[in-house]
Each structure stands twice: as C-alpha cells, then as structure tokens.
Amino acid sequence: MIKREFKTNFKSFIIWLSILIIIFLIVYLIYPYIITDDTMKSLDEMMKVFPPELLKAFNMDLASINSAYGWLKSEGFMFILIITGIYSSMLGSSVVLKEENDKTIEYLESLPIKRSNILTNKIIVSIIYIILMVVIFGIFNYVSLLISGDFNHREYILLSVTPLFVALPFFSINLFISTFLHKTRKTIGISLGLVFLSYVLSVLSELSTKVEFLKYFSIYTLADTRNVITNTSINSVMVIISLIITLIFILASYIRYNKKELI
C-alpha cells in the first residue's frame, strides 16, 4: 500500500518542488544583474522609508538583500515557508479524504486492513514527502549559494530545516480537519485560508507590541528564523511545540477516522 501511496502523491510533490526550484532558480540567475552598486544605493534609500517594524516582519532588519543569501534569509525564506505550508496543508487535507472524494473508499474498506493502518501508511508517505521537499530544496539552495558566493554554512543548514516545524503542524491540523469532511473541494479553501491567516497573523504580530499576542495564534511563529539568524541555533522550545502540535492532531485524526462514517 505504501508503494501505491508514493505513486499517487508523487505528481503533486514534483509540481510543488518544481514551483519552488524554478522561482528560486530565476532569482539566483538574475540576482547578479539586478543588484549592482547603483541599485543597492537606491534600495538602501528605499528601505529607510519603511518602518523598522515592517522590516522586522520580513527579517530585513537582520539581513541585507545585497546578496542572494541575504535575500534568501529575508524574503526568500518567507516564500519557502508559505509554499511548504501550502503543500503540506493540501497534502494533509487530501491524502485520506481523496479516497472518499473519489469513492474508492468502499473498495479500500473491503480489503483486509485496519482503518488505523490505512491512516498510518498515508501519514508515513506524507511526512516522507514533506521531509523530501525540505531536504531536496535545501540541497538545491545550498548548491546555488555555493555557486553564487560566500555564506554562513551552519546558519544556512539550520535555516533550511525550519520549514519542517511549520509544515508538520500544518499537515496534521489539515489531516484532522479532513476527518470531518467528505469532499476535497471543501478543503482547498480551508488549507489555503489556514496558511494565509497564519502568515498574516505572524506579520501583524511583528508590527506592534500591542498585537504581539497574535503570534500565539500563528503556526509561523514556530519557524523561528530570527533566532537562527541571530544566534545560529534552532529554538528547541519551538521544535518541541511543533512536534507536540503535530502529534496531538495526528492522534486526534486516528480517533476521529476510526469512528468516521465513510459514505
């Protein structure tokens, strides 16, 4: 069954990974041409116009976009976090629900396999794909950065792992939500909405101390890229919280799915 699951989910994995790679490849290729001394001067002037809170929201107070690595640390990583968030959310919401949506569940349920084993197979394959997405894209960026200039290797490796701490909770939350639904078309809005709401809350929380509490409602808080850039270390508290959220929602999904009316 695992083999079948890998095959079924391979296409969407390749599509999402390609989207990331193509966009970043374009950035790496054109970056040397757009960042010249003149454009850098104008960019610096432009940055002064933005309030520091806004720059902080995009890590631009910590990293200058005068190099590809600087761009990656600020805007680039935001982009990676959003894309991996969307991918893992959509995977979570469709990996099990697809069987109901396509009505193949009636066949699958007739096979001698426990419901919990069906779920386990699907979760294992999904998590492997999420990890593969982060690792393969991390390697791609690593190689690209090696070609385009000098960078802090340890800092980069730690940074490239952070999307996992966002992707896994997004996956498990969406998996849990999907156990209440019967059609995948309803889940696309929920998956995207959850990612963008989380992202907006994360940005807003950086803008003012008055709304800082919003960060507690955002999954993106778990990808503590600022800590990696400032201290060259991963915030272990965030990692633990991320894993706990993931485990809770996966466990809840097992409980719900075992009782679910599948038709």
Partner 1 sequence: MVILEIKHLKKYYGNFKGIENVSLKLDKGDIYGFIGPNGAGKSTTIRTIMGLINKTSGDIYFNGEKLDSNDPLIKEKIGYLPSEVNLYDDMTVSELFDYHESFYNKDISKRRKELVRLLKINESKKIEDLSLGNLKKVGIVLSLMHSPELLILDEPTSGLDPIMQKTLHNILIQEKEKGTTILYSSHVLSEVSNVCDKIGFIKDGVIIKEDLIENIKKDNYTYLTISSKDVSRIKKDLKLEVKDEKDNEIKFINNIGVNELIKKLANYNIDKLLIEDISLEDLFVNYYK
Q: Which residues bind partner 1 (CB under 8 A)?
A: 1, 4, 7-8, 102-107, 109-115, 258-259, 261-263
The residue (of 182 and 215) whose beta carbon lies closer to partner 1 is 182
Give min distance, CB of 263 to partner 1, in A: 5
Give min distance, CB of 93 to partner 1, in A: 20
- What distances in angstroms separate CA 119 from CA 3, 45, 114, 190, one per listed residue? 14, 54, 9, 21
The residue (of 111 and 147) whose beta carbon lies closer to partner 1 is 111
Give min distance, CB of 252 to partner 1, in A: 18
How far is it, in rounded angstroms, from Cα 248 to Cα 242?
10
How far is it, in rounded angstroms, from Cα 39 to Cα 1?
54
Give min distance, CB of 14 to partner 1, in A: 15
Looking at residue 19, the DSSP 8-state letter turns out to be H
Give min distance, CB of 137 to partner 1, in A: 26
Q: Which amino acid is at 114?
A: K
CB 118 within 8 A of CB 98: no
The residue (of 48 and 259) whose beta carbon lies closer to partner 1 is 259
The residue (of 44 and 106) whose beta carbon lies closer to partner 1 is 106
The residue (of 27 and 118) whose beta carbon lies closer to partner 1 is 118
Of 16, 25, 55, 34, whose CA–CA distance to 167 is shortest? 16
Burial class for 120, CB neighbours closer than 10 Å (0-12, 13-18, 19+) = middle
Please measure the distance between the N-terminal and C-terminal CA atoms of the chain and give it in whole angstroms: 22
